Structure 1
Amino acid sequence: MHTVVVLALPDAIAFDVATPVEVFGRARLPDGRPAYRVEVCATEPVVAAGPLRLVAAHGLEALADADTVVVPGRADPTAATPDAVVAALRAAAAAGTRIASICVGAFTLAAAGLLDGRRATTHWAAAGLFAAAHPAVHLDPAVLYVDTGQIVTSAGATAGVDMCLHLIGRDHGAAVAAHASRSAVAPLHRDGGQAQYIDHGHTRTADPGLGPLLHWIEENAHRPLSLDDVAARAGLSVRTLNRRFHAHTGGTPMQWLAGVRIRRARELLETTGHGVDRIAYQVGFPSPTNFRAQFKRLTGVTPQAYRTTFRPASTGPRA
Protein backbone atom coordinates (compact mmCIF):
# COMPACT_ATOMS: atom_id res chain seq x y z
CA MET A 1 0.00 0.00 0.00
CA HIS A 2 1.18 3.51 -0.81
CA THR A 3 2.30 5.25 2.39
CA VAL A 4 1.79 9.00 2.79
CA VAL A 5 3.69 10.65 5.64
CA VAL A 6 2.62 14.15 6.69
CA LEU A 7 5.47 16.11 8.29
CA ALA A 8 4.16 18.40 11.04
CA LEU A 9 6.71 21.03 12.00
CA PRO A 10 6.36 23.39 14.99
CA ASP A 11 3.61 25.98 14.45
CA ALA A 12 2.19 23.97 11.56
CA ILE A 13 -0.98 25.28 9.94
CA ALA A 14 -3.63 22.87 11.20
CA PHE A 15 -5.67 23.01 7.99
CA ASP A 16 -2.61 22.04 5.95
CA VAL A 17 -1.93 19.07 8.21
CA ALA A 18 -5.54 17.89 8.13
CA THR A 19 -5.95 18.18 4.35
CA PRO A 20 -3.70 15.26 3.29
CA VAL A 21 -4.77 13.20 6.29
CA GLU A 22 -8.42 13.48 5.27
CA VAL A 23 -8.16 13.46 1.46
CA PHE A 24 -5.69 10.59 1.17
CA GLY A 25 -7.13 8.81 4.19
CA ARG A 26 -10.63 8.64 2.72
CA ALA A 27 -9.56 7.57 -0.79
CA ARG A 28 -10.78 4.10 -1.69
CA LEU A 29 -9.86 1.66 -4.44
CA PRO A 30 -12.62 0.18 -6.65
CA ASP A 31 -12.85 -2.87 -4.37
CA GLY A 32 -13.32 -0.69 -1.30
CA ARG A 33 -9.86 -1.05 0.18
CA PRO A 34 -8.03 2.07 1.42
CA ALA A 35 -5.83 3.53 -1.31
CA TYR A 36 -3.27 4.90 1.15
CA ARG A 37 -1.77 4.40 4.56
CA VAL A 38 -1.49 7.87 6.12
CA GLU A 39 0.85 8.68 8.99
CA VAL A 40 1.91 11.88 10.73
CA CYS A 41 5.46 12.46 11.90
CA ALA A 42 7.15 15.34 13.67
CA THR A 43 10.41 16.46 15.20
CA GLU A 44 8.91 16.18 18.67
CA PRO A 45 6.04 14.16 20.21
CA VAL A 46 3.70 17.15 20.59
CA VAL A 47 3.60 19.91 17.98
CA ALA A 48 1.84 23.26 18.24
CA ALA A 49 -0.59 23.99 15.41
CA GLY A 50 -2.19 27.32 16.23
CA PRO A 51 -4.64 26.74 19.09
CA LEU A 52 -4.25 22.97 18.72
CA ARG A 53 -1.61 20.55 19.93
CA LEU A 54 -0.86 17.61 17.66
CA VAL A 55 0.40 14.33 19.06
CA ALA A 56 2.56 12.71 16.39
CA ALA A 57 2.85 8.94 16.37
CA HIS A 58 6.17 8.95 14.53
CA GLY A 59 9.46 10.80 14.36
CA LEU A 60 11.48 11.77 11.31
CA GLU A 61 12.48 8.16 10.76
CA ALA A 62 9.04 7.62 9.21
CA LEU A 63 10.15 9.59 6.14
CA ALA A 64 12.48 6.75 5.19
CA ASP A 65 9.51 4.42 4.66
CA ALA A 66 7.26 6.91 2.87
CA ASP A 67 6.20 6.73 -0.75
CA THR A 68 4.96 10.33 -0.52
CA VAL A 69 5.92 13.01 2.01
CA VAL A 70 3.61 16.00 2.43
CA VAL A 71 4.98 19.14 4.09
CA PRO A 72 2.30 21.53 5.43
CA GLY A 73 2.89 25.23 5.85
CA ARG A 74 3.93 26.93 9.09
CA ALA A 75 2.46 30.05 10.70
CA ASP A 76 5.79 31.79 10.15
CA PRO A 77 7.10 30.56 6.80
CA THR A 78 10.43 32.29 7.39
CA ALA A 79 11.13 30.33 10.58
CA ALA A 80 14.35 28.34 10.39
CA THR A 81 13.95 24.75 9.23
CA PRO A 82 15.62 22.35 11.70
CA ASP A 83 18.80 20.74 10.36
CA ALA A 84 17.38 17.30 11.05
CA VAL A 85 14.37 18.06 8.85
CA VAL A 86 16.56 19.33 6.02
CA ALA A 87 18.66 16.17 6.21
CA ALA A 88 15.61 13.90 6.31
CA LEU A 89 13.95 15.60 3.33
CA ARG A 90 17.14 15.47 1.29
CA ALA A 91 17.58 11.78 2.10
CA ALA A 92 13.99 11.06 1.10
CA ALA A 93 14.43 12.94 -2.17
CA ALA A 94 17.66 11.10 -2.92
CA ALA A 95 15.82 7.80 -2.37
CA GLY A 96 13.20 8.78 -4.97
CA THR A 97 10.38 9.56 -2.55
CA ARG A 98 7.72 11.91 -3.90
CA ILE A 99 7.68 15.10 -1.85
CA ALA A 100 4.83 17.61 -1.85
CA SER A 101 4.13 20.85 -0.04
CA ILE A 102 0.94 22.68 0.84
CA CYS A 103 0.76 26.47 0.98
CA VAL A 104 3.91 28.00 2.51
CA GLY A 105 5.28 24.51 3.09
CA ALA A 106 7.18 25.34 -0.10
CA PHE A 107 9.49 27.45 2.08
CA THR A 108 10.55 24.26 3.88
CA LEU A 109 11.22 22.44 0.60
CA ALA A 110 13.19 25.44 -0.66
CA ALA A 111 15.21 25.58 2.56
CA ALA A 112 16.19 21.96 1.92
CA GLY A 113 17.33 22.88 -1.59
CA LEU A 114 14.71 20.69 -3.24
CA LEU A 115 13.20 23.44 -5.38
CA ASP A 116 16.32 25.05 -6.86
CA GLY A 117 15.99 25.25 -10.63
CA ARG A 118 12.43 23.93 -10.48
CA ARG A 119 9.06 25.52 -11.13
CA ALA A 120 7.03 25.79 -7.93
CA THR A 121 4.18 27.67 -6.30
CA THR A 122 3.05 28.83 -2.88
CA HIS A 123 0.29 30.98 -1.41
CA TRP A 124 0.00 34.15 -3.49
CA ALA A 125 0.26 36.40 -0.43
CA ALA A 126 3.71 34.97 0.37
CA ALA A 127 4.96 34.95 -3.22
CA GLY A 128 7.02 38.14 -2.93
CA LEU A 129 8.66 36.95 0.28
CA PHE A 130 9.38 33.56 -1.26
CA ALA A 131 10.85 34.99 -4.46
CA ALA A 132 13.17 37.26 -2.49
CA ALA A 133 14.34 34.46 -0.21
CA HIS A 134 14.71 31.78 -2.89
CA PRO A 135 15.65 33.36 -6.23
CA ALA A 136 16.88 30.03 -7.64
CA VAL A 137 13.29 28.73 -7.68
CA HIS A 138 11.07 29.43 -10.72
CA LEU A 139 8.04 30.64 -8.80
CA ASP A 140 4.60 30.63 -10.44
CA PRO A 141 2.16 32.23 -7.98
CA ALA A 142 -0.83 32.10 -10.36
CA VAL A 143 -1.53 28.35 -10.29
CA LEU A 144 -3.15 26.01 -7.79
CA TYR A 145 -0.33 23.47 -7.88
CA VAL A 146 2.81 22.58 -9.80
CA ASP A 147 3.73 18.96 -10.51
CA THR A 148 7.31 18.49 -11.70
CA GLY A 149 7.28 14.74 -11.18
CA GLN A 150 9.00 13.89 -7.91
CA ILE A 151 8.42 17.33 -6.36
CA VAL A 152 4.94 18.83 -6.16
CA THR A 153 3.94 22.17 -4.63
CA SER A 154 0.53 23.72 -4.07
CA ALA A 155 -0.88 27.12 -3.27
CA GLY A 156 -2.71 28.06 -0.10
CA ALA A 157 -5.49 26.37 1.85
CA THR A 158 -7.93 24.49 -0.40
CA ALA A 159 -5.36 24.31 -3.20
CA GLY A 160 -3.90 21.55 -1.06
CA VAL A 161 -7.11 19.61 -1.69
CA ASP A 162 -6.68 20.15 -5.43
CA MET A 163 -3.13 18.85 -5.26
CA CYS A 164 -4.04 15.77 -3.21
CA LEU A 165 -6.84 14.87 -5.64
CA HIS A 166 -4.40 15.33 -8.53
CA LEU A 167 -1.93 12.95 -6.89
CA ILE A 168 -4.66 10.39 -6.27
CA GLY A 169 -5.46 10.56 -9.98
CA ARG A 170 -1.77 10.06 -10.80
CA ASP A 171 -1.54 7.05 -8.53
CA HIS A 172 -4.85 5.30 -9.07
CA GLY A 173 -6.63 6.85 -12.04
CA ALA A 174 -9.51 9.20 -12.66
CA ALA A 175 -12.26 7.01 -11.18
CA VAL A 176 -10.59 6.75 -7.77
CA ALA A 177 -9.79 10.49 -7.82
CA ALA A 178 -13.40 11.31 -8.73
CA HIS A 179 -14.66 9.19 -5.83
CA ALA A 180 -12.23 10.99 -3.50
CA SER A 181 -13.43 14.36 -4.76
CA ARG A 182 -17.02 13.44 -4.00
CA SER A 183 -16.02 12.32 -0.51
CA ALA A 184 -14.24 15.65 0.01
CA VAL A 185 -17.20 17.54 -1.52
CA ALA A 186 -14.68 19.31 -3.74
CA PRO A 187 -14.39 19.66 -7.52
CA LEU A 188 -11.88 17.33 -9.14
CA HIS A 189 -10.59 20.23 -11.22
CA ARG A 190 -10.98 23.98 -10.76
CA ASP A 191 -10.60 26.55 -13.50
CA GLY A 192 -8.37 29.59 -13.33
CA GLY A 193 -5.73 28.78 -10.73
CA GLN A 194 -5.15 31.02 -7.71
CA ALA A 195 -4.87 34.15 -9.83
CA GLN A 196 -8.61 34.65 -9.32
CA TYR A 197 -8.04 34.93 -5.54
CA ILE A 198 -5.20 37.47 -5.63
CA ASP A 199 -6.16 40.92 -4.37
CA HIS A 200 -4.90 42.85 -7.39
CA GLY A 201 -4.32 46.54 -6.86
CA HIS A 202 -4.52 46.32 -3.08
CA THR A 203 -0.87 45.73 -2.21
CA ARG A 204 0.74 48.84 -0.80
CA THR A 205 4.01 50.28 -2.01
CA ALA A 206 7.01 50.88 0.26
CA ASP A 207 7.48 54.34 -1.29
CA PRO A 208 5.60 56.85 0.95
CA GLY A 209 5.86 59.45 -1.81
CA LEU A 210 3.49 57.42 -3.97
CA GLY A 211 0.89 57.01 -1.23
CA PRO A 212 -1.21 60.10 -2.09
CA LEU A 213 -1.12 59.20 -5.80
CA LEU A 214 -2.27 55.66 -5.14
CA HIS A 215 -5.11 56.99 -3.02
CA TRP A 216 -6.09 59.33 -5.85
CA ILE A 217 -6.06 56.42 -8.33
CA GLU A 218 -8.30 54.45 -5.96
CA GLU A 219 -10.76 57.35 -5.81
CA ASN A 220 -10.73 58.07 -9.55
CA ALA A 221 -10.28 54.64 -11.14
CA HIS A 222 -13.81 54.79 -12.57
CA ARG A 223 -12.82 57.78 -14.72
CA PRO A 224 -11.24 57.41 -18.21
CA LEU A 225 -7.70 58.03 -16.92
CA SER A 226 -4.66 58.02 -19.20
CA LEU A 227 -0.99 57.68 -18.28
CA ASP A 228 -0.60 61.41 -18.91
CA ASP A 229 -3.44 62.11 -16.47
CA VAL A 230 -1.73 60.07 -13.73
CA ALA A 231 1.67 61.68 -14.40
CA ALA A 232 0.13 65.15 -14.29
CA ARG A 233 -1.53 64.38 -10.96
CA ALA A 234 1.82 63.19 -9.59
CA GLY A 235 3.65 66.20 -10.98
CA LEU A 236 6.16 63.91 -12.65
CA SER A 237 7.19 63.13 -16.19
CA VAL A 238 5.80 59.90 -17.60
CA ARG A 239 9.30 58.42 -17.66
CA THR A 240 9.99 59.27 -14.01
CA LEU A 241 6.56 58.05 -12.94
CA ASN A 242 7.06 54.71 -14.72
CA ARG A 243 10.49 54.30 -13.13
CA ARG A 244 9.24 54.96 -9.60
CA PHE A 245 6.23 52.72 -10.03
CA HIS A 246 8.34 49.84 -11.33
CA ALA A 247 10.85 50.25 -8.50
CA HIS A 248 8.23 50.20 -5.76
CA THR A 249 5.31 48.16 -7.12
CA GLY A 250 6.95 45.97 -9.75
CA GLY A 251 4.63 47.22 -12.46
CA THR A 252 3.43 50.31 -14.33
CA PRO A 253 0.87 52.95 -13.31
CA MET A 254 -1.63 51.61 -15.84
CA GLN A 255 -1.18 48.06 -14.53
CA TRP A 256 -1.90 49.37 -11.04
CA LEU A 257 -4.97 51.17 -12.34
CA ALA A 258 -6.19 48.01 -14.06
CA GLY A 259 -5.67 46.10 -10.82
CA VAL A 260 -7.79 48.58 -8.87
CA ARG A 261 -10.56 48.37 -11.47
CA ILE A 262 -10.47 44.57 -11.49
CA ARG A 263 -10.68 44.45 -7.70
CA ARG A 264 -13.76 46.67 -7.79
CA ALA A 265 -15.25 44.59 -10.58
CA ARG A 266 -14.74 41.46 -8.50
CA GLU A 267 -16.59 43.08 -5.61
CA LEU A 268 -19.51 43.95 -7.90
CA LEU A 269 -19.55 40.48 -9.42
CA GLU A 270 -19.70 39.00 -5.92
CA THR A 271 -22.24 41.36 -4.38
CA THR A 272 -24.56 42.59 -7.13
CA GLY A 273 -26.61 41.24 -9.98
CA HIS A 274 -25.38 43.88 -12.42
CA GLY A 275 -24.61 42.64 -15.91
CA VAL A 276 -20.99 42.24 -16.94
CA ASP A 277 -21.18 45.07 -19.50
CA ARG A 278 -22.59 47.46 -16.90
CA ILE A 279 -19.84 46.54 -14.43
CA ALA A 280 -17.19 47.15 -17.09
CA TYR A 281 -18.30 50.76 -17.50
CA GLN A 282 -18.91 51.27 -13.78
CA VAL A 283 -15.31 50.47 -12.83
CA GLY A 284 -13.78 52.51 -15.65
CA PHE A 285 -12.95 50.19 -18.55
CA PRO A 286 -13.40 51.78 -22.00
CA SER A 287 -15.36 48.79 -23.32
CA PRO A 288 -16.77 45.44 -22.15
CA THR A 289 -14.37 43.68 -24.55
CA ASN A 290 -11.37 45.35 -22.95
CA PHE A 291 -12.76 44.55 -19.51
CA ARG A 292 -13.20 40.86 -20.30
CA ALA A 293 -9.69 40.61 -21.72
CA GLN A 294 -8.10 42.35 -18.72
CA PHE A 295 -10.17 40.33 -16.24
CA LYS A 296 -9.13 37.03 -17.84
CA ARG A 297 -5.49 38.15 -17.94
CA LEU A 298 -5.37 39.05 -14.26
CA THR A 299 -7.59 36.35 -12.76
CA GLY A 300 -7.31 33.50 -15.22
CA VAL A 301 -11.08 33.17 -15.60
CA THR A 302 -13.89 35.07 -17.32
CA PRO A 303 -16.06 37.51 -15.33
CA GLN A 304 -19.01 35.13 -15.57
CA ALA A 305 -16.93 32.17 -14.38
CA TYR A 306 -15.68 34.26 -11.46
CA ARG A 307 -19.24 35.25 -10.57
CA THR A 308 -20.36 31.61 -10.67
CA THR A 309 -17.60 30.70 -8.21
CA PHE A 310 -17.92 33.57 -5.76
CA ARG A 311 -21.46 34.98 -5.95
CA PRO A 312 -23.87 33.90 -3.18
CA ALA A 313 -26.50 31.57 -4.58
CA SER A 314 -29.29 34.05 -3.81
CA THR A 315 -27.86 36.76 -6.07
CA GLY A 316 -28.52 36.44 -9.78
CA PRO A 317 -27.20 38.55 -12.66
CA ARG A 318 -29.56 40.94 -14.34
CA ALA A 319 -29.43 41.93 -17.97
Structure 2
Amino acid sequence: MSSFIEIQGLSKTFKEKEVLTDTTLSLKKGEILSLVGASGSGKSTFLRILSGLESATKGKVLIEGSDISSIKPRNRPIGMVFQQPLLFPHMNVLENVIYGLKMKGKNKENKKRAKDYIERVGLGEFMLHYPSELSGGQQQRVSLIRSLILKPKLLLLDEPFSSLDLQLRKELRQWVRSILKEEDTTVLFVTHDRDEAYEMGDRVAVLQDGRFLQIGSPGEIYYNPASPFVASFMSDVLILQEQQFVHASHIRVVPSVKDLTSPCWKGTVRQKLFMAGTDIYEIWVEELRQKLNLPLGWDSINGTVWLYAEEENIRTFQIEE
Protein backbone atom coordinates (compact mmCIF):
# COMPACT_ATOMS: atom_id res chain seq x y z
CA MET A 1 0.00 0.00 0.00
CA SER A 2 1.43 3.38 -1.05
CA SER A 3 1.91 6.21 1.42
CA PHE A 4 -0.47 9.14 1.59
CA ILE A 5 2.31 11.56 0.58
CA GLU A 6 5.32 10.40 -1.45
CA ILE A 7 8.27 12.57 -2.39
CA GLN A 8 10.46 10.71 -4.85
CA GLY A 9 14.02 11.72 -5.73
CA LEU A 10 13.42 15.46 -5.53
CA SER A 11 16.42 17.51 -6.70
CA LYS A 12 16.95 21.18 -7.45
CA THR A 13 19.86 22.89 -9.18
CA PHE A 14 20.50 26.64 -9.20
CA LYS A 15 23.16 27.86 -11.62
CA GLU A 16 24.91 24.47 -11.62
CA LYS A 17 24.78 24.26 -7.80
CA GLU A 18 22.65 21.44 -6.45
CA VAL A 19 20.72 22.67 -3.41
CA LEU A 20 18.55 19.55 -3.09
CA THR A 21 19.88 16.10 -3.92
CA ASP A 22 17.63 13.09 -4.41
CA THR A 23 15.42 13.88 -1.40
CA THR A 24 12.95 11.08 -0.79
CA LEU A 25 10.43 10.56 2.00
CA SER A 26 6.88 9.42 2.62
CA LEU A 27 4.14 10.44 5.03
CA LYS A 28 1.16 8.54 6.38
CA LYS A 29 -2.27 10.14 6.60
CA GLY A 30 -2.40 12.33 9.72
CA GLU A 31 1.34 12.12 10.38
CA ILE A 32 3.35 15.15 11.51
CA LEU A 33 6.94 15.20 10.26
CA SER A 34 9.35 17.76 11.71
CA LEU A 35 11.95 18.92 9.20
CA VAL A 36 15.08 20.42 10.78
CA GLY A 37 18.30 21.79 9.39
CA ALA A 38 20.69 24.70 9.69
CA SER A 39 20.33 27.84 7.59
CA GLY A 40 21.13 27.07 3.96
CA SER A 41 20.40 23.35 4.30
CA GLY A 42 17.63 23.48 1.67
CA LYS A 43 14.53 23.64 3.88
CA SER A 44 12.99 26.69 2.20
CA THR A 45 13.65 25.36 -1.31
CA PHE A 46 12.07 22.05 -0.35
CA LEU A 47 8.89 23.79 0.87
CA ARG A 48 8.70 26.06 -2.16
CA ILE A 49 8.83 23.05 -4.49
CA LEU A 50 6.11 21.24 -2.55
CA SER A 51 3.88 24.32 -2.59
CA GLY A 52 4.49 24.84 -6.32
CA LEU A 53 6.28 28.18 -5.98
CA GLU A 54 9.33 26.58 -7.59
CA SER A 55 9.76 23.60 -9.88
CA ALA A 56 12.10 20.71 -9.19
CA THR A 57 14.96 19.88 -11.54
CA LYS A 58 13.89 16.26 -11.23
CA GLY A 59 11.72 14.09 -9.02
CA LYS A 60 8.02 13.77 -8.21
CA VAL A 61 5.54 14.80 -5.51
CA LEU A 62 2.60 12.40 -5.19
CA ILE A 63 -0.50 12.77 -3.04
CA GLU A 64 -2.66 9.67 -2.78
CA GLY A 65 -0.81 8.28 -5.78
CA SER A 66 -1.40 11.30 -8.05
CA ASP A 67 1.58 13.33 -9.30
CA ILE A 68 0.97 17.02 -8.51
CA SER A 69 4.35 18.26 -9.77
CA SER A 70 2.85 20.12 -12.76
CA ILE A 71 -0.22 21.52 -10.96
CA LYS A 72 -0.33 25.26 -10.33
CA PRO A 73 0.11 26.37 -6.69
CA ARG A 74 -3.48 27.58 -6.25
CA ASN A 75 -4.84 24.24 -7.44
CA ARG A 76 -2.70 22.04 -5.22
CA PRO A 77 -4.38 20.41 -2.18
CA ILE A 78 -1.68 21.97 -0.01
CA GLY A 79 -1.95 24.64 2.67
CA MET A 80 0.89 26.73 4.06
CA VAL A 81 1.41 28.76 7.23
CA PHE A 82 4.42 31.08 7.26
CA GLN A 83 6.62 32.60 9.96
CA GLN A 84 4.45 35.72 9.86
CA PRO A 85 0.64 35.29 9.94
CA LEU A 86 0.14 37.34 6.73
CA LEU A 87 -3.47 38.21 7.59
CA PHE A 88 -5.34 40.81 5.56
CA PRO A 89 -5.19 43.95 7.73
CA HIS A 90 -8.46 45.37 6.34
CA MET A 91 -10.41 42.19 7.18
CA ASN A 92 -11.56 41.08 10.60
CA VAL A 93 -10.94 37.58 11.96
CA LEU A 94 -14.13 36.13 10.48
CA GLU A 95 -13.48 37.64 7.06
CA ASN A 96 -9.88 36.38 7.06
CA VAL A 97 -10.99 32.83 7.85
CA ILE A 98 -13.78 32.86 5.26
CA TYR A 99 -11.56 34.29 2.52
CA GLY A 100 -10.02 30.97 1.45
CA LEU A 101 -13.42 29.31 1.25
CA LYS A 102 -14.70 32.06 -1.04
CA MET A 103 -11.64 31.75 -3.28
CA LYS A 104 -12.32 28.01 -3.60
CA GLY A 105 -15.91 28.76 -4.56
CA LYS A 106 -17.29 27.12 -1.43
CA ASN A 107 -20.13 29.47 -0.52
CA LYS A 108 -22.62 27.27 1.25
CA GLU A 109 -22.49 27.66 5.01
CA ASN A 110 -19.13 29.48 4.82
CA LYS A 111 -19.90 31.75 7.75
CA LYS A 112 -21.12 28.92 10.00
CA ARG A 113 -18.01 26.81 9.32
CA ALA A 114 -15.72 29.78 9.91
CA LYS A 115 -17.44 30.66 13.17
CA ASP A 116 -17.15 27.06 14.35
CA TYR A 117 -13.39 27.03 13.73
CA ILE A 118 -12.89 30.40 15.40
CA GLU A 119 -14.79 29.22 18.47
CA ARG A 120 -12.74 26.01 18.59
CA VAL A 121 -9.48 27.93 18.90
CA GLY A 122 -10.81 30.16 21.66
CA LEU A 123 -11.17 33.34 19.62
CA GLY A 124 -14.96 33.65 19.58
CA GLU A 125 -14.92 37.00 21.36
CA PHE A 126 -12.40 38.33 18.82
CA MET A 127 -14.38 37.31 15.74
CA LEU A 128 -14.96 40.90 14.57
CA HIS A 129 -11.55 42.19 15.64
CA TYR A 130 -8.90 43.19 13.11
CA PRO A 131 -5.36 41.72 13.06
CA SER A 132 -3.88 44.85 14.61
CA GLU A 133 -6.09 44.23 17.66
CA LEU A 134 -4.76 40.71 18.21
CA SER A 135 -1.61 39.40 19.90
CA GLY A 136 1.03 37.54 17.87
CA GLY A 137 -0.19 34.18 19.15
CA GLN A 138 -3.82 35.02 18.31
CA GLN A 139 -2.85 36.10 14.80
CA GLN A 140 -1.01 32.82 14.23
CA ARG A 141 -4.07 30.87 15.38
CA VAL A 142 -6.18 32.70 12.82
CA SER A 143 -3.57 31.96 10.13
CA LEU A 144 -3.64 28.27 11.03
CA ILE A 145 -7.42 27.81 10.95
CA ARG A 146 -7.60 29.79 7.70
CA SER A 147 -5.56 26.94 6.20
CA LEU A 148 -7.19 24.10 8.13
CA ILE A 149 -10.73 25.08 7.15
CA LEU A 150 -9.85 24.26 3.54
CA LYS A 151 -9.04 20.68 4.56
CA PRO A 152 -5.64 20.50 2.80
CA LYS A 153 -4.25 17.05 2.15
CA LEU A 154 -0.82 18.38 3.16
CA LEU A 155 -0.15 21.35 5.44
CA LEU A 156 3.25 23.05 5.36
CA LEU A 157 4.22 24.95 8.53
CA ASP A 158 7.26 27.15 7.92
CA GLU A 159 8.68 28.01 11.37
CA PRO A 160 5.28 29.39 12.45
CA PHE A 161 6.39 30.20 16.01
CA SER A 162 9.75 31.83 15.31
CA SER A 163 8.52 35.40 15.86
CA LEU A 164 6.93 34.62 19.25
CA ASP A 165 8.48 34.75 22.71
CA LEU A 166 9.67 31.51 24.32
CA GLN A 167 6.76 30.95 26.70
CA LEU A 168 4.15 31.63 24.03
CA ARG A 169 5.95 29.29 21.63
CA LYS A 170 5.73 26.46 24.16
CA GLU A 171 2.03 27.06 24.79
CA LEU A 172 1.13 27.47 21.13
CA ARG A 173 2.97 24.42 19.80
CA GLN A 174 1.16 22.16 22.29
CA TRP A 175 -2.15 23.64 21.20
CA VAL A 176 -1.27 23.42 17.49
CA ARG A 177 -0.25 19.75 17.71
CA SER A 178 -3.50 18.97 19.49
CA ILE A 179 -5.73 20.58 16.85
CA LEU A 180 -3.73 19.06 13.97
CA LYS A 181 -4.29 15.61 15.45
CA GLU A 182 -7.99 16.33 15.96
CA GLU A 183 -8.23 17.28 12.28
CA ASP A 184 -6.14 14.25 11.20
CA THR A 185 -4.04 16.65 9.12
CA THR A 186 -0.85 15.46 7.39
CA VAL A 187 1.85 18.02 8.19
CA LEU A 188 5.40 18.95 7.29
CA PHE A 189 6.62 21.17 10.13
CA VAL A 190 9.82 23.13 9.47
CA THR A 191 11.89 24.43 12.38
CA HIS A 192 15.50 24.95 13.43
CA ASP A 193 14.60 24.42 17.11
CA ARG A 194 15.51 20.94 18.37
CA ASP A 195 13.01 20.86 21.23
CA GLU A 196 10.24 22.11 18.96
CA ALA A 197 10.99 19.42 16.40
CA TYR A 198 10.81 16.68 19.02
CA GLU A 199 7.63 17.98 20.61
CA MET A 200 5.72 18.53 17.37
CA GLY A 201 6.80 15.62 15.19
CA ASP A 202 5.75 11.98 15.12
CA ARG A 203 8.99 11.63 13.17
CA VAL A 204 11.93 13.95 12.56
CA ALA A 205 13.91 14.44 9.33
CA VAL A 206 17.36 16.07 9.49
CA LEU A 207 18.45 17.92 6.36
CA GLN A 208 22.02 19.01 5.62
CA ASP A 209 23.38 20.39 2.34
CA GLY A 210 20.25 19.32 0.50
CA ARG A 211 20.28 15.71 1.70
CA PHE A 212 18.35 13.86 4.38
CA LEU A 213 20.92 12.49 6.81
CA GLN A 214 18.42 10.70 9.03
CA ILE A 215 14.66 10.22 9.35
CA GLY A 216 13.22 8.57 12.45
CA SER A 217 11.21 8.93 15.62
CA PRO A 218 12.32 11.60 18.12
CA GLY A 219 13.76 8.84 20.30
CA GLU A 220 15.73 7.31 17.42
CA ILE A 221 17.21 10.66 16.41
CA TYR A 222 18.09 11.71 19.96
CA TYR A 223 19.52 8.45 21.29
CA ASN A 224 20.89 6.98 18.05
CA PRO A 225 22.18 9.83 15.84
CA ALA A 226 23.47 8.45 12.55
CA SER A 227 26.24 11.00 11.95
CA PRO A 228 28.38 13.59 13.75
CA PHE A 229 26.21 16.40 12.34
CA VAL A 230 22.96 14.85 13.58
CA ALA A 231 24.61 14.20 16.95
CA SER A 232 25.79 17.78 17.41
CA PHE A 233 22.59 19.33 16.03
CA MET A 234 19.94 17.08 17.56
CA SER A 235 21.42 15.19 20.51
CA ASP A 236 23.59 15.39 23.64
CA VAL A 237 26.73 13.34 23.07
CA LEU A 238 30.48 13.37 23.23
CA ILE A 239 31.89 12.74 19.75
CA LEU A 240 35.03 10.63 19.98
CA GLN A 241 37.72 9.70 17.51
CA GLU A 242 37.17 7.22 14.68
CA GLN A 243 33.51 8.11 14.15
CA GLN A 244 32.51 7.04 17.64
CA PHE A 245 30.29 8.66 20.23
CA VAL A 246 28.84 8.17 23.67
CA HIS A 247 25.42 9.52 24.60
CA ALA A 248 25.01 11.76 27.64
CA SER A 249 22.63 9.23 29.19
CA HIS A 250 25.55 6.77 29.44
CA ILE A 251 28.08 9.24 30.86
CA ARG A 252 28.79 9.35 34.58
CA VAL A 253 30.58 12.16 36.39
CA VAL A 254 32.87 11.90 39.44
CA PRO A 255 35.09 14.46 41.18
CA SER A 256 38.18 12.21 41.04
CA VAL A 257 39.75 9.82 38.53
CA LYS A 258 40.83 7.45 41.30
CA ASP A 259 40.06 3.79 40.57
CA LEU A 260 38.47 4.50 37.18
CA THR A 261 39.21 1.81 34.60
CA SER A 262 36.63 2.82 31.97
CA PRO A 263 37.31 5.36 29.20
CA CYS A 264 37.33 8.79 30.82
CA TRP A 265 37.77 12.45 29.94
CA LYS A 266 38.73 15.42 32.06
CA GLY A 267 36.15 18.19 32.27
CA THR A 268 35.89 21.68 33.69
CA VAL A 269 32.60 22.82 35.18
CA ARG A 270 31.85 26.21 33.65
CA GLN A 271 28.45 27.23 34.95
CA LYS A 272 25.21 26.04 36.45
CA LEU A 273 22.12 26.30 34.28
CA PHE A 274 18.47 25.76 35.09
CA MET A 275 16.64 23.69 32.50
CA ALA A 276 13.14 22.21 32.74
CA GLY A 277 13.15 22.62 36.50
CA THR A 278 16.52 20.89 36.98
CA ASP A 279 20.01 22.14 37.85
CA ILE A 280 22.26 21.36 34.88
CA TYR A 281 25.99 22.00 34.70
CA GLU A 282 27.84 23.02 31.56
CA ILE A 283 31.06 21.01 31.35
CA TRP A 284 33.90 21.77 28.94
CA VAL A 285 35.86 18.71 27.79
CA GLU A 286 39.21 20.12 26.66
CA GLU A 287 40.54 16.93 25.06
CA LEU A 288 37.52 16.67 22.74
CA ARG A 289 36.94 20.44 22.36
CA GLN A 290 33.27 20.00 23.25
CA LYS A 291 30.84 21.07 25.90
CA LEU A 292 28.20 18.89 27.49
CA ASN A 293 25.28 19.75 29.75
CA LEU A 294 24.76 17.25 32.57
CA PRO A 295 23.21 17.04 36.05
CA LEU A 296 26.05 16.46 38.53
CA GLY A 297 24.24 15.55 41.71
CA TRP A 298 26.24 17.86 43.94
CA ASP A 299 26.29 21.59 44.51
CA SER A 300 29.50 22.71 42.85
CA ILE A 301 29.74 25.09 39.92
CA ASN A 302 33.53 25.28 39.61
CA GLY A 303 36.42 22.89 39.39
CA THR A 304 37.56 19.74 37.65
CA VAL A 305 35.48 16.60 37.17
CA TRP A 306 35.93 13.34 35.30
CA LEU A 307 33.46 11.94 32.79
CA TYR A 308 33.48 8.23 32.12
CA ALA A 309 31.53 5.61 30.16
CA GLU A 310 31.55 1.83 29.91
CA GLU A 311 33.13 0.40 26.74
CA GLU A 312 29.82 -1.22 25.80
CA ASN A 313 28.16 2.21 25.58
CA ILE A 314 30.61 3.64 23.05
CA ARG A 315 28.97 3.45 19.64
CA THR A 316 29.91 4.08 16.00
CA PHE A 317 28.06 6.44 13.67
CA GLN A 318 26.27 4.83 10.74
CA ILE A 319 27.11 7.72 8.38
CA GLU A 320 30.57 9.25 7.96
CA GLU A 321 30.98 12.92 7.10
TM-score tier by shorter-chain length is 0.3 to 0.5
TM-score of the two chains, using structure 2 as the length reference: 0.33
If asked which structure has higher relative contact order (CA below 8 Å, sep 6+), I would say: 2
Of Structure 1 and Structure 2, the greater strand share is in 2
TM-score of the two chains, using structure 1 as the length reference: 0.33
Of Structure 1 and Structure 2, the greater helix share is in 1
